[in-house]
Amino acid sequence: MIEVSAPGKLYIAGEYAVVEPGHPAILVAVDQFITVSLEKTEDMGSITSFQYGNLPILWKRHNDQLVLDKRENPFHYILAAINVTESYAKEVHKQLDFFNLTIDSELDSSNGRKYGLGSSAAVTVATVRALCQFYELENTDELVFKLAALAHLSVKSNGSCGDVAASVYGGWLAFTTFDRDWVAAQQEKEQSVKELVEMEWPYLSITPLTPPADLRLVIGWTGSPASTSHLVDEVTSQRSRDQQAYTTFLKESSACVDRMIQAFQEKDIKSIQQQIRQNRKLLVNMSRATGVIIETPALSQLCEVAEAYRGAAKSSGAGGGDCGIVLFDRKEGLLPLMTAWEEKGITNLPLHVYNKS
């Protein structure tokens, strides 16, 4: 039996801007995992999940037809990951086979509750890796990232794939996404998957960061779930309200995250914290300009309380609920913050950064 795990992630900075090719974000992988088990069978395959069984199939109406929103259902990512990886396997002359695939997720609770830790990315990455082992394919991080990213594109995900990168590479990362129009143009040329993954993808960069030894990441959870794909849809449709303001946001976010990356290289915790606060301001302003609520009242409280205890805090990811992150200098004691958060209904998630050995 093959068993493969992939970690969840959290955004540290650069959200929304990172959806545009070449605009940097910083992410971490966290030590909660999705595990995919795969067993060879004869004549019939199956996909089973302990956590996804009760999930609804979401649909909208388009010209009187039901249209599925595939982006919200992990089964579609699993199917897409199988499709892309098997296309690649066939191109390198592997014989396709049957298997039972079982998914066990620590990133979703059994009542379907999500923490916003990137379960659709992790399930895609774990499925791609399991199939690479099953078909005895090369299993490099770059290949797995590109196959998983192609799976995400085929589900029409509007994300940057930063979550996919964090789940593949682990640790702290600086990430800029690829030009998805370029990828689509290559696919239209009927390029094989093999040819496509062997090409260099414009604007894509994934760079490991080494944090200062005393930098401590603390995670607060608001308890309310948010849909990243819907929030990104909304920002995309509302940014034209003030195109100039959005262009400025993109530029300032890039400059802020670049300064943060430099501060990582210089091991300067004060400067990292300063950029976290700056990035929070940029996101709050962008939210005002677009009318899309990123920092909810619960996230504001999470940040304000953390700031009172000398942490640098902001919403993480798309916001609208889910988690906030706080960066501390390890000297600071954290127990008073935990108590103060509890009083405001914020839960500390006891997660650690996951580094691949």
Alpha-carbon gap, residue 225 to 229, rounded angstroms: 12
164/198 Cα distance (integer angstroms) = 18
C-beta closer to ligand PMV: residue 232 or 303:
232
Q: Measure the CA–CA gap between 207 and 235, rounded to whole angstroms.
A: 27
Residue 183 or 283: which CB sits closer to Mg ion? 283
The span from the CA of 131 to the CA of 124, in Å, is 11
Among 211, 317, 321, 324, binds ligand PMV (CB under 6 A): 317
> Which residues, listed in sequence order, are joined to residue 99 by a DSSP beta bridge?
40
Q: Give yes or no for residue 116 binding ligand PMV (CB under 6 A).
A: yes
Element (H or E) spanning 283, and its range? Answer: helix 269-290
288, 280 contact by CB (below 8 A): no
Q: Which of 4, 232, 261, 269 binds ligand PMV (CB under 6 A)?
A: 232
Tell me the closest approach of the beta carbon of residue 100 to ligand PMV, in angstroms. 29
Minimum distance between the CB of residue 196 and Mg ion, rounded to whole angstroms?
29
Residue 69 main-chain phi, psi, to 5 deg: -90, 90
Q: Compute and round to an integer the Cα radius of gyration of the chain.
A: 20
Best CA proximity match to 20, nearest among 245, 226, 247: 247
Distance in Å, CB of 320 to ligand PMV, minimum = 8
The smaller minimum CB distance to ligand PMV, of residues 38 and 117, is found at: 117
- Examine residue 311 and tell whether it contacts ligand PMV (CB under 6 A): no
* Of residues 199-228, those binding ligand PMV (CB under 6 A): 228
Task: State in angstroms the smallest separation of the CB of 303 from ligand PMV.
Answer: 16
Of the ranges 34-42, 199-207, 248-256, 315-323, which one interacts with ligand PMV (CB under 6 A)? 315-323
Tell the smallest beta-carbon distance from residue 203 to ligand PMV (Å). Answer: 14
Q: Is residue 159 close enough to count as binding ligand PMV by CB under 6 A?
A: yes
Helix ranges (H only) for 109-239 are 119-134, 141-154, 162-169, 180-188, 193-198, 228-238
Q: State both tokens at 297.
A: 């009242």
Rule CB under 6 A: choose which of 13, 18, 89, 282 binds ligand PMV.
Answer: 18
Please report, as ranges, the residues that interact with ligand PMV according to CB under 6 A. 11, 15-16, 18-19, 116, 118, 159-160, 162-163, 228, 232, 316-318, 322
